Amino acid sequence: MVQCPLIFASLAMLIILFSMFRIVREYERLVVFRLGRAIGAKGPGLVLLLPFVDKAVGVFSSSNGWRDDLSTL
């Protein structure tokens, strides 16, 4: 019976450990909020987030050199 809480705790720690890391793609940035305040943009690459403290919002930063507005033609 002692092994069941130990297995549950180790599984929870493993899930928290994997949720700390986020991979940001080349044309994407993450705006990281720590306790509701913006602490900056992160990426591209591997980003470390503190679980239950940080919130990341993805921003697509690719810009193209043409206009998509076809109503002006």
Task: Convert the pLDDT of each residue in 3-47 to its tens digit.
Answer: 888 999 999 999 999 989 999 999 899 999 999 999 999 989 999
Q: pLDDT value at position 30?
A: 92
Longest dimension (CA), the chain: 74
pLDDT band, very low/low/confident/very high, at 61 (cuts 50, 70, 90): confident
Predicted TM-score (pTM) of this structure: 0.68
Q: pLDDT value at position 70?
A: 61
22 class by beta-carbon count within 10 Å (0-12 exposed, 13-18 middle, 19+ buried): middle
Measure the CA angle with vertex 32, ends 13 and 43; round to 5°: 95
